[in-house]
Structure 1
């Protein structure tokens, strides 16, 4: 069986990890891990061994070693070692001589197959020189004062290591279009520095592969790829997945793209920042050029040095921004506490709400009035904008750097408000904080017209064709502002909490109504406690009698009857759990707050131990950072973190490598802890329901729960006069922050 190349409709649909061919400079065999028999083999294998591909299919792979004078036990030992260690990196490459030439055998295991690839070995005399280049690269990473110098130095070292004509550092934008931000080339070549490339040039599935394969070589775009043959009984719908194969053939669309550029060989190295693709080191050569495995590994090491440097530099930048925002946030909080008027606290002091983030202007819409600072749209435009916000989004914080894409009327005031960071204080009262960023007109020089032409083949099928012209094509981009950072969004969300807390405290004019509501609340609280408490006794009886029926008379019942009794027991257990949570929630209103210094190190270690015990049998890492003490009720504080860590553990169950981090820090007026996980996350559009009793978010419904835990956490935090806020990205991460006042003098209710 030969897997043919799929029809190509669009780049995004192309299955580039299962193209069914390999590049011509190497050879491939894929075997079953259980018996080491050959399932897939490249058709060109006869050029390396004495048997054809058809003869080898279904045979033990050790036959290959026997035919070249190597001990079959050597290969078996290698394969056994790789399976045992669950790591093949330390075994690859394995060097062997075939046909009077030295070859690298590279091994990996993926998708139920062990894949063996043979590639020729390059010039071994270059190894010490390459190691010297790596040492130079490390020194340059440490010494580079600017990001541009760091990128150019890295490109130069990569060029020296692999010998290509052109090496570029290519950075992705938020929309996945790219720009060449550094370049080292041969003098006769035209420069590509500063050119932009559309996102379609590197489609989604290619970007996903770049995150898994950090180095990719195309040795000769004009060579004929070799098809992969498969044993006859193998399912036709399960081709060999070559996601991690270095010899994986090249997409015909990409081959045509490279040919249109005049490139004969290419190599790319991935640059990763916080687990995402930041960019690529893209290398072009204008004649065929093979780079052997060890040299590629050397280049990959240098690219990883750059990735680490990017991580460090970005971390420093984020840290400085966080420190600045934190200081402004602290000052605004103090002003809100000291000033009885929210508007005066935010708009008339030396530090104002405009200082919280980098913005051209800000509008506070509060109590039916507008308070503006800096350059903003006019009042009529703001009214229309906030009316639109109320209809399209329920997020407490919403942002965009191109407002016109979401709200076309924004084109009229794009010069002052192309970017918007909106905080909703109250939809019902039309109260908002709105930060605006002005338009940043850009002249973008594309490497050719970014729109890929659509062609129609003989069968009438519409196809995407790679661009043929790479002549500079200039576009003026308007109505776009600088992007808002994660720190901007988090700072705005915290200020929202501060404002709402102050507003709630200043509701003196409804004190009488509050007293009446409090009395009704206390009566309802006592009623719910009594009912919940009294329900436990008959519920225990129901469970007990059901167990007796199963134990004493179970043999006389058929399967359906026993199943129904078990359902009664299970339902009783769920009801008991719900009643227990309700009791704790209702009891919170009556328990005395015993505030003292809480040793968080001992508390969190115990909570971690309890959670890991409940989650035994799965991979889960809970990392504890700084753990400053908290002023609070020890039992209630433990309940807060028990709920937060239990939730984080529960919602990371689908993750292969579940990670939870918890750490605290001391600010001027509080102790702030954060709990972060890489679980299922949630849509921030549903965030306003987070702390509602018995309310659960849509993507959490398949997980066991009562909808009471976070309501308890919120109630405990409120009783401590603290704050809780959060941020999440579906399928990526979730972070909860909780702050406790660090003064023991805070009143105990």
Structure 2
């Protein structure tokens, strides 16, 4: 059986989650992008102790005339008092948005500021405010957000939610291409929604290896509502002084949207043919579920207001995705509970439980989507459907006794876990085991056949990272041309609801055995 595209939960043969990429300290770079500037304030007196070197470009002042001064000396009294009271009233690291009017050399300049209070200091990210005519008024953004939300609520599937999201966000933002990714269990990202200009490369349905978004980057997405790169051709601005005078360490920029980007990612963008990007996390149950990735072929700088609208939309999309996943799960659980009830009735109306599982109108194979079942009990072996030979089953049970001590064990890559299973991978690439009495080698075993799956990649994943001779420097792949490989010795994945059903069935079988014996 050949399927055109592997499902999101499919286990791949190789782990592409690079430990090397995931170990780089992205939050301690001491550099920011130049579309804004950064101030580090002493939390006690709100004096500016550290400043990005490009602040002079925004304030038209030398760095030495900025450093050491209280931030209140630049602001109207009301704003200075408001800033002070809100910082003092915040014990968490929640980001506080402000509109600040800097008074510099007799002129007033409006900025949008994002304030990050920490235990030891306060970080302030500052960008020049844009006029409403440049970005759309609050009312316009609110109306568009409400409209998109109403469309999302009508969606019937995760894929439909993803497609509505990218199409409407493209209209809202003007980005050339917007993709919706879902992470698979091994952190490879699969494109499940796409809206793009006609002459741009088509990535729909492609997987991108986990090394494209390594672990540390994924962790930072849990702390940042978005990641914006208005242009990859910026020259990073240093923090002055290099060492934070308050902590005597590098300043932690984990929370900062202005944080500079690793050179390898800018190279990745160039290879992809894009100048600017913006990414928004999709978070479900405090875990990174996926990303919305916006691409543009020229420099683009969305306003703070538009970014805030997109941040809100990504939260709404995450909520809708979670609701759709729960809905699917509830429907499947209800279906499995009905099958379980019928099996339970058969168990208690047959003389032995193997017959109740295998020979009635309802079978265990229907409950767990199996192609074959073997029950080992009191020295006997009962089988139904496509299963390995009795000798192969006994050898498998011997391996299970030695290596698996859980009540229920499931794998969709049995030949990779147990080498002998390669000899019968056609019928048993997937295994679910329910232990009855392991000491006596009594088990219920369910099998799934090998399903050959074609994986479509955005470029060759084995060339995702190209190391230089020094073993330290590396480059991203320079081609995103569709690349295919076929995964073997793998079955369809086991769903969480199926594992729960297996647990419940095992408990019912044990209860029947105990009642009969005692």
Q: How does the TM-score come out when normalised to structure 2?
A: 0.89
2:425 corresponding residue in structure 1: 414
1:192 corresponding residue in structure 2: 203
How far apart, CA to CA, are the structure 1 residues paired with 2:353 and 2:497? 23
Higher deviation after alignment, 368-377 or 238-247: 368-377
Structure 1 position 9, deviation (Å): 9.6
2:97 corresponding residue in structure 1: 92
Structure 1 position 169, deviation (Å): 0.6
1:369 to 366, 380, 391: 380
1:240 to 245, 251, 254: 251
> 1:113 and 1:403, CA in 2 relative to 1: closer, same or farther beyond 3 A?
farther
Structure 1 position 111, deviation (Å): 5.6
1:40 to 29, 50, 66: 50
2:332 to 295, 304, 321: 321
1:74 to 79, 97, 105: 79
Higher deviation after alignment, 427-436 or 84-93: 84-93
Asked whether the equivalents of residues 10 and 463 of structure 1 are also in contact (C-alpha less than 8 Å), the reply is no
Correspondence 1:501 to 2:506:
no
- Greater RCO (CA < 8 Å, at least 6 residues apart): 2
Asked whether the equivalents of residues 454 and 487 of structure 2 are also in contact (C-alpha less than 8 Å), the reply is yes
How far apart, CA to CA, are the structure 2 residues paired with 1:207 and 1:32? 30
Correspondence 1:429 to 2:437:
no
Structure 1 position 233, deviation (Å): 7.4
> 1:426 and 1:316, CA in 2 relative to 1: closer, same or farther beyond 3 A?
same
1:254 corresponding residue in structure 2: 265
2:8 corresponding residue in structure 1: none
Structure 1 position 309, deviation (Å): 1.0
How far apart, CA to CA, are the structure 2 residues paired with 1:491 and 1:22? 51
Deviations 1:603-633 (A, max 9, x none): xxxxxxxxxxxxxxxxxxxxxxxxxxxxxxx
Asked whether the equivalents of residues 158 and 325 of structure 2 are also in contact (C-alpha less than 8 Å), the reply is no
Deviations 1:543-582 (A, max 9, x none): xxxxxxxxxxxxxxxxxxxxxxxxxxxxxxxxxxxxxxxx
Asked whether the equivalents of residues 90 and 117 of structure 2 are also in contact (C-alpha less than 8 Å), the reply is no
Aligned length: 494
Asked whether the equivalents of residues 325 and 356 of structure 1 are also in contact (C-alpha less than 8 Å), the reply is yes
Correspondence 1:203 to 2:211:
no
Structure 1 position 81, deviation (Å): 1.7
2:36 to 4, 9, 26: 26
1:455 corresponding residue in structure 2: 467
Correspondence 1:472 to 2:477:
no
Structure 1 position 28, deviation (Å): 0.6
2:112 corresponding residue in structure 1: 104
Correspondence 1:347 to 2:355:
no
How far apart, CA to CA, are the structure 2 residues paired with 1:110 and 1:15? 19
2:10 corresponding residue in structure 1: none
Q: How does 1:579-618 map to 2 (within 5 A)?
A: none
Q: Secondary structure at the match of 2:439?
A: coil
> 1:303 and 1:49, CA in 2 relative to 1: closer, same or farther beyond 3 A?
same
> 1:350 and 1:243, CA in 2 relative to 1: closer, same or farther beyond 3 A?
same
Structure 1 position 16, deviation (Å): 1.1
Q: Secondary structure at the match of 1:483?
A: coil
> 1:480 and 1:96, CA in 2 relative to 1: closer, same or farther beyond 3 A?
farther
Structure 1 position 454, deviation (Å): 3.7
How far apart, CA to CA, are the structure 2 residues paired with 1:415 and 1:347? 21
How far apart, CA to CA, are the structure 2 residues paired with 1:213 and 1:225? 20
1:446 to 454, 457, 480: 457
Structure 1 position 388, deviation (Å): 1.3
Asked whether the equivalents of residues 95 and 115 of structure 2 are also in contact (C-alpha less than 8 Å), the reply is no
Asked whether the equivalents of residues 346 and 356 of structure 2 are also in contact (C-alpha less than 8 Å), the reply is yes
2:13 corresponding residue in structure 1: none
2:179 corresponding residue in structure 1: 168
1:695 corresponding residue in structure 2: none
Q: Secondary structure at the match of 2:461?
A: coil
Structure 1 position 170, deviation (Å): 1.0
Structure 1 position 40, deviation (Å): 2.6
Deviations 1:427-458 (A, max 9, x none): 2111111222222222222111112344335x
How far apart, CA to CA, are the structure 2 residues paired with 1:232 and 1:471? 43
Asked whether the equivalents of residues 216 and 246 of structure 1 are also in contact (C-alpha less than 8 Å), the reply is yes
How far apart, CA to CA, are the structure 1 residues paired with 2:57 and 2:51? 13
1:533 corresponding residue in structure 2: none
Structure 1 position 112, deviation (Å): 3.3
How far apart, CA to CA, are the structure 2 residues paired with 1:190 and 1:131? 32
How far apart, CA to CA, are the structure 1 residues paired with 2:335 and 2:19? 50
Q: How does the TM-score come out when normalised to structure 1?
A: 0.63
How far apart, CA to CA, are the structure 2 residues paired with 1:205 and 1:333? 47
> 1:233 and 1:260, CA in 2 relative to 1: closer, same or farther beyond 3 A?
closer
- CA-atom RMSD, angstroms? 2.4
How far apart, CA to CA, are the structure 2 residues paired with 1:316 and 1:91? 35
Structure 1 position 285, deviation (Å): 0.5
Q: How does 1:515-534 map to 2 (within 5 A)?
A: none
1:212 corresponding residue in structure 2: 223
Structure 1 position 51, deviation (Å): 4.0
1:490 corresponding residue in structure 2: 500
2:343 to 318, 332, 347: 332
Correspondence 1:300 to 2:311:
yes
Asked whether the equivalents of residues 179 and 195 of structure 1 are also in contact (C-alpha less than 8 Å), the reply is yes
Deviations 1:384-409 (A, max 9, x none): 22211111121111112222221223
Structure 1 position 236, deviation (Å): 8.0
Structure 1 position 303, deviation (Å): 1.8
How far apart, CA to CA, are the structure 1 residues paired with 2:346 and 2:283? 41
> 1:446 and 1:308, CA in 2 relative to 1: closer, same or farther beyond 3 A?
same
Structure 1 position 54, deviation (Å): 4.2
Higher helix share: 1
How far apart, CA to CA, are the structure 1 residues paired with 2:226 and 2:437? 50
Asked whether the equivalents of residues 40 and 240 of structure 1 are also in contact (C-alpha less than 8 Å), the reply is no
Q: Secondary structure at the match of 1:474?
A: strand
Asked whether the equivalents of residues 120 and 246 of structure 2 are also in contact (C-alpha less than 8 Å), the reply is no
Q: How does 1:670-689 map to 2 (within 5 A)?
A: none
> 1:173 and 1:101, CA in 2 relative to 1: closer, same or farther beyond 3 A?
same
How far apart, CA to CA, are the structure 2 residues paired with 1:425 and 1:9? 40
Q: Secondary structure at the match of 2:476?
A: coil
